[in-house]
Amino acid sequence: MTITSDGRTADLSTEVKDKVRDAKDTAQAKIQDIKQHLQDRTEAVQDKVDETTQQAKDLADQAAAKLPAPVVGRLTQVMAVVRRRPIPAVVALLAVLLVLRRLLRRNS
């Protein structure tokens, strides 16, 4: 910009730069706050996931302790297959649930 004899253009340019700098600082501070909040929430969610996973393992262990040895052996084999090929296992489970749902609807 050109500076006029009364200096209004120079003042305007400085004011605009100051406002832009203030807006930038405010935006950066807000971004930092959001990042900290997300990090805190992520940690809280991970803690809850770990807790829930441990509870599920404990319940599975308790249930397995009540089952006969041959059943536990077969379930161990099934779980190994599910871990190796999870997608076909989920599809098969959904198919079984769909068939059961239709059968139960017919009977009611």
pLDDT at 14: 85
Q: Clarify whether residues 99 and 57 are in a common domain.
A: no
Residue 88 lies in domain: 68-108
Q: Are residues 55 and 80 in the same domain?
A: no
Say what the pLDDT of residue 6 is: 53
Residue 1 has pLDDT above 50, yes or no: no
Residue 16 CA to residue 10 CA, distance in Å, equals 10
User: Is the same domain home to 11 and 47?
Assistant: yes
Q: CA 2 to CA 42: how far, in whole Å?
A: 51
Q: Does residue 60 share a domain with residue 13?
A: yes
My answer on whether 4 and 55 are in the same domain is yes
Condensed to tens digits (0 to 9), the pLDDT of residues 22-79 reads 999 999 999 999 999 999 999 999 999 999 999 998 998 888 888 888 888 898 898 8
Distance separating alpha carbons of residues 55 and 63, to the nearest angstrom:
12
Number of domains in the chain: 2
Q: Are residues 47 and 75 in the same domain?
A: no
